[in-house]
Amino acid sequence: MPRRKFAGKTDVGLKRKNNEDAFFISPDQHFCLAADGVGGAAAGELASKIFTESTIETFTGNSDRSGKEIKHRIQKAFRLANDNILKHVTQNPDHKGMGCTAELLAFSDEGFIIGHIGDSRTYCLRNGQFEQLTQDHTLVQQQLEAGLITRDKIKQHPLRNVIFRSLGLTKEPELDLLKGKACPEDLFLLCSDGLTDMVPDDQIRDILRSGIDIHRKVEELIETAKLAGGKDNITVVLAAVY
């Protein structure tokens, strides 16, 4: 069984008064997550908390590490979180519009599985190559794929923050599931857009390639985002395979 090491941190950034992001690491259950609340005054931070708690509840007390079971657990965690967010809004109508984007990475006996919704991201650094594994559920991503805009125009696009998928948006959330083999020396990054909106991919890659400890890499990524302006909450989670 490969060994794994996790590290993570969330930071309010330099412009926001509260932190709507959340992260959680469970070395014993071999998973980690990152969430970014949406809805602002409509309690986005509660949505992120609900996703975290729902995932912990789903993974606790089950030792089956098969790929089939881990996939089922990820799907269940997202459904449970979505149901709990909608239930909260029903009981608290002033929180209508709350939700969160979410990344959940879990390791099975066969490899890894990722659950993804929204514009938070999961990347993998493998053999020095840095790859974004998830695809943003955003208007600008749709326009990019349709050839209506170029990649260099995304950060200046006036509608770059419009997302089409999040937990709490509909009764049946559309979840992306990705899976693959986990290789020795792999380094997975889960992050909110507070990192990727501030720091280019090549700069993130260079920090991840550096020889510093995994915990220092987390700190370096967050500080780099803050030096670039820190306009949003910043959450970084790393999972290293040995």
CATH number of the domain enclosing 114:
3.60.40.10
- Of residues 156 and 235, which shows the higher confidence score? 235
Number of domains the chain is built from: 1
Q: Where residue 118 falls among pLDDT bands split at 50, 70, 90?
A: very high
Pairing of strands 234-241, 187-191: antiparallel
Q: Judge whether 57 lies within some domain.
A: yes
DSSP secondary structure letter of residue 169? S
Q: Is residue 156 part of a domain?
A: no
Residue with tokens 């509608």: 159
Is residue 66 a part of any domain in this protein? yes
Q: What is the pLDDT of residues 128-145, one digit of tens each?
A: 999 999 999 987 777 777
> Is the pTM value of this prediction over 0.85?
yes
pLDDT at 40: 66
Sheet of 21-26, strand order:
21-26, 31-38, 99-107, 112-117, 176-180
Return the structure tokens found at 207.
């920090």
Band of pLDDT at residue 161, cut at 50, 70 and 90: confident
Task: Please state the rounded mean pLDDT for residues 167-184.
Answer: 96
Q: Is residue 104 in a domain?
A: yes
- Mean local confidence (pLDDT), 184-194: 98
Inside any domain, residue 142: no
pLDDT of residue 153: 66
Q: Strands 187-191 and 121-126: what pairing?
A: antiparallel
User: Has residue 41 got a pLDDT over 70?
Assistant: no
Amino acid at 4: R
Crossing angle for the helix pair 201-209 and 214-227, nearest 10 degrees? Answer: 150
Average pLDDT of the chain is 93
pLDDT at 162 > cutoff 80: no
Indicate whether 159 belongs to any domain: no
Mean pLDDT check: name the lowest of 28-37, 103-112, 144-153, 183-192.
144-153
pLDDT in tens, 87-109: 999 999 999 999 999 999 999 99
**Residue 161 falls inside a structural domain:** no
Instruction: Answer yes or no: is 137 within a domain.
Output: no
Query: What's the domain range around 211?
Result: 4-132+166-241
228, 155 contact by CB (below 8 A): no
List, for residues 1-40, the tens digit of each pLDDT value. 679 999 999 999 999 999 999 999 999 999 999 999 997 6
Share of the chain above pLDDT 70, in %: 95
Which pLDDT score is estimated for 241?
97
Gap between the Cα atoms of 180 and 161, Å rounded: 29
Query: 151 vs 176, which has greater pLDDT?
Result: 176
